[in-house]
Amino acid sequence: MARYAMVIDLRKCVGCQACTVACDKEWDVPLGFARTRVQSTGIVGAFPKLASGFRVAQCNQCDRPSCVAACPTGATRQSADGIVRIDRGVCIGCGFCVEACPYDARYINPAINQADKCDFCAARLERGLQPACVTTCTAHAKYFGNLEDSNSEVFRMVYEKGARRLQTARVAIGPNVYYLGKKQDVDLVFAKFPPRAPRMAASSEFWSRLLKPLVLAAVGATFLGQAVAFFHQLATGESKQQNQEKT
C-alpha cells in the first residue's frame, strides 16, 4: 500500500501561485478560499542580511489527523494510503474539523455547505495523474510520491536529503508535506508559520465533554431503575405484584 507524501523544495519555489491557480481551476474552489496557497514570510532581517521565503500551505494528510477525531459523523476519514478524505454524503458542515486543523487547511465550502480541503487530488491519482499543483509548478519545486517506495523521489528527499515536517513539540501530528532547503531558509519559514494548537468548537466541546456524559448517565440511570423494577417483577410474580399495588 502506498503512503503518499509531498515534498516542497523551498530553494526552487518562487511564490508564483501557479499551484494555487491550478488547484482553483481543478476543483472549482470558491472565491475567497483555497485548498493550497503560497504564503510569503515577507522580508526579514536588516540590510544587508535580508532574507525571505515562501511556504506552500495545504492539507498535510497527517498521520494522526486531529480533524478525523473532531468529526462527529465520520465524514472525515483517513484511507490506508494516508489521504484524509471527506465523504460528501456524510459531511453536515458543522465546522468542527475546521477548528481542529492546526494548519488551517480546511474551510466550509459555501457552494456545498460542507468542509473542503486538499486531498492530494485523489481523483487524479485514481486516473494515474499527479496532483494538479505538482504538474503545474513552474519551478518543479513540488514532488509527489509514495513514501513507502524506496525508489521514489519523495523517499530520497525525506530519508536521504533530510526534508522536514512543519511541526512543533506541542503540535506533532505527523504532517506528510515535507519541506526541503537550506536550514536557515526552512527555519525562517517554520518560525513564521508554526501550526497553531488544535481547537475545539465551543459546541463540540460542550457536546462531547458535557452533554454526552449527561445523556449517557441519564439513560443509564433509567435503564438501571427499570432493571431493578423488572427483577422485582420477576421475583414477585405478576399477579401477586398487582394485588400488592392495589392495597
Partner 1 sequence: MAAPSITQAPRPLTAREVDALSQRQVKKHDVAIMLLHWFNATVWLLELATGTALLTSSFRVAPWWYIRIVQGFFQSRANMLQFHIAVGITWIVVFVVYGTFGFRTYLKKEVLQREISLDGDDFQWLRVRVLRLLKCSDESLPPQGIYNAGQKLFALMVYAMVPVIMITGLIMTFHLIGTAAVGWAAAIHFAAVGAVVSGLMIHVYMGAVFPEEKPAFFSMITGTVNEHYAYSHHFKWWKEVSGVRAEILHESGPEASAALPPDTPRKQETPGEGEKQQ
Q: Is 71 in the site for partner 1 (CB under 8 A)?
A: yes
Q: Is 33 in the site for partner 1 (CB under 8 A)?
A: no
**Phi then psi for 37, rounded to 5 degrees?**
-155, 155
Q: Is 150 in the site for partner 1 (CB under 8 A)?
A: no
| Stretch in the footprint of partner 1 (CB under 8 A) among 4-12, 21-29, 37-45, 220-228 | 220-228
Q: Which of 52, 36, 64 is nearest to 142 (CA)?
A: 36
Q: Is 126 in the site for partner 1 (CB under 8 A)?
A: no
| Stretch in the footprint of partner 1 (CB under 8 A) among 41-49, 67-75, 117-125, 126-134 | 67-75
Residue 135: how many other CB atoms lie within 10 Å: 16
C-alpha cell at 119: 486531498
| Stretch in the footprint of partner 1 (CB under 8 A) among 149-157, 172-180, 191-199, 234-242 | 234-242
Q: Interface residues with partner 1 (CB under 8 A)?
A: 68-75, 87-90, 92-96, 98, 108, 113, 201, 203-204, 206-208, 211-212, 214-216, 218-219, 221-223, 225-226, 229-230, 233, 238-239, 241-242, 245-247
